[in-house]
Structure 1
Amino acid sequence: MKVILFDLDGTLLPLDTEEFIENYVKMLSWEMKTLIPQDLFVKKLWESTYAMINNTDPGKTNKEVFWENFFEGIECERELILTKIGDFYKNRFPELKKVMKPNPISSFILKEAESIGLELVIATNPIFPEIAIRERLRWINAENFSFKLITTYENMHFTKPRLEYYEEILSIIGKAPEECLMVGNDVEEDLIASKLGIKTFLVIDYMINRNGIEPKPDYAGSIEDLFYFIKNMGGNHIERIRCCPRTCKSSFPLSGIPRT
């Protein structure tokens, strides 16, 4: 194993993704209401987000797809909208830290991975601009790590759960699938990386399983389990245990990592 790909929201960043998105949309639409009615703004925001998710054109970044869709039928001057949104990310977006459930372990996980020579990738769904992703990294004291790549809507051409998203990451970092581990909390968006031969670790603290499918990760456990998994990665300390029903409703095997 040479590289760990980390999802952000609900994985390294301890929060409920639905709660975060709900607060984000309310706050952003309120800030934009002097230029675009809130209902229209929310409608265009979601339409443009789904346009990114459904895009299959490798010649367009997610950012290009988003704004091409967003400005269709919008009469307000483009530069006014972009300036207003830029101001929102600088001045108001940091307030969304309030939805996070503080847990210092994420920065220790990244430090531990770096200390044993692993390269780090932030493989968050690239539907946000870099400024918003780096701000969320600050919330977990992770802004100063030497990441091989941070996927953003500016530098990526596909989103999760498309395999092309993971293929693009592998191409950028110059690694084979078997050299990587994908760590995430979304059964569909993160575990799909296994179809390329990437090993997966499902973090169950804020697990997302929209369609109730049976998760089949290579490893799984809490964010604390992930820390010990990485800490013991060089040894043979990983054993298989059953899921604790008090913390997880599914019955798939979890990785039990002894505290050594």
Structure 2
Amino acid sequence: MIQAVLFDLDDTLLSLNLTAFLARYINGASGLLARASGKLRVNIMTAYARAWLAAEGEKRRDRMTNQQLINSIIYKQCGIPLDDPVIADMIDCYERTVVPRMGSGIVRAEPKEGAREAVDAVWGMGLTCALATNPVVSMECDRARMAWAGFTEDDFALVSCAENSTRAKPWADYYEEFCGKLGLSPSECLMVGNDAKRDFAHPECGLRTVYVGHAKPTRALWAGQMSELASALPAIIEKANSEE
């Protein structure tokens, strides 16, 4: 029986130019770190990109959180200890005060039509609602993007981020870890997302996906627009439960 619905954030609940946002984030963070350390900004930017790719790696065997892995790679690449209290405070201040202002212009951040109604519908059906966003950035970055979408942490039972996750999408280990924190198995959850690759667990682990993107993935339990999801949700849940 379905007990929880997990939502992706970027281009699912929130419309934005994700590439532009990540570029702005890296540019700003790298500039701060360059001024503090004397290292070249371009080298720090490259280290961030490599660290994020490593966090998403399929062949990871470590048990570090994604944030710990990112910190270790940036330290190896640039000699900058992101977990040093002074540097950590600087990045935290940047993420709390600067990142929330990055949603305008080329980033074009705005709520997806029907997103609030879909989240409210999940809670209204007595199900648990959680935010399973790809966990390669911090909770502060998640909070900023949630706010752009019109949400807060209080709207979700759990939010994934780099600090509380040891794997990333689309790997089954990530989904199993996330569902486990809710006290559930993947087969008791539905994933809602727009990414035909990342929002479908690989390899399959029992998690079914409701697709709200522009492709037509054959694995989707249901495919449509976010604006249609709230009204379709009861039938989707009934279908998922009937297939067990």
TM-score by length of structure 2 reads: 0.83
Distance of 1:168 and 1:75 partners within structure 2: 31
CA contact (8 A) 2:12 2:112 kept: no
Once the 2 structures are TM-superposed, how far is the Cα of residue 60 of structure 1 from its aligned partner?
1.3
Number of aligned residue pairs: 230
Matched, 1:135 2:144: yes
Cα distance 1:31–1:231, how it changes in 2: closer, same or farther (>3 A)? farther
CA contact (8 A) 1:113 1:231 kept: no
Matches within 5 A, 1:12-161: 12-35=13-36, 36-54=39-57, 56-57=60-61, 59-76=63-80, 78-98=84-104, 99=107, 100-103=109-112, 105-143=114-152, 145-161=154-170
Distance of 1:135 and 1:7 partners within structure 2: 15
Distance of 1:75 and 1:224 partners within structure 2: 47
1:165-217 Cα offsets, whole Å, 9 max, x none, are 01112221121333211111111111126811211111115x6xxxxx95531
1:87-133 Cα offsets, whole Å, 9 max, x none, are 21011100122121344532221111111111011101111111111
Distance of 1:24 and 1:73 partners within structure 2: 19
Runs (5+) with no aligned partner, structure 1? 208-212, 237-260
Matched, 1:2 2:8: no
CA contact (8 A) 1:201 1:218 kept: yes
Once the 2 structures are TM-superposed, how far is the Cα of residue 235 of structure 1 from its aligned partner?
6.5
> Could you say what the CA RMSD is over the residues aligned between the two structures, in angstroms?
2.5
CA contact (8 A) 1:3 1:121 kept: yes
Once the 2 structures are TM-superposed, how far is the Cα of residue 234 of structure 1 from its aligned partner?
6.3
CA contact (8 A) 1:182 1:199 kept: yes
Matches within 5 A, 1:210-249: 215-230=218-233, 232-233=235-236
CA contact (8 A) 2:137 2:161 kept: yes
Amino acid across the alignment from 1:66: I
Matches within 5 A, 1:160-175: 160-175=169-184
Distance of 1:193 and 1:121 partners within structure 2: 20
More helix by share: 2
Q: Secondary structure at the match of 1:60?
A: coil
Larger relative contact order, structure 1 or 2 (CA cutoff 8 Å, min sep 6): 2
CA contact (8 A) 2:129 2:157 kept: yes
Deviates more, 1:141-150 or 1:38-47: 141-150
Deviates more, 1:54-63 or 1:180-189: 54-63
Q: Secondary structure at the match of 1:170?
A: helix
Q: Secondary structure at the match of 1:200?
A: strand
Work out which of the residue numbers 192, 211, 220 in structure 2 matches 1:183.
Answer: 192
Percent of aligned positions that are identical: 24
Name the counterpart of 1:244. Answer: none
1:20-76 Cα offsets, whole Å, 9 max, x none, are 223332333334331332201111101211221226235311111111111114345
Runs (5+) with no aligned partner, structure 2? 240-244
Q: Secondary structure at the match of 1:33?
A: helix
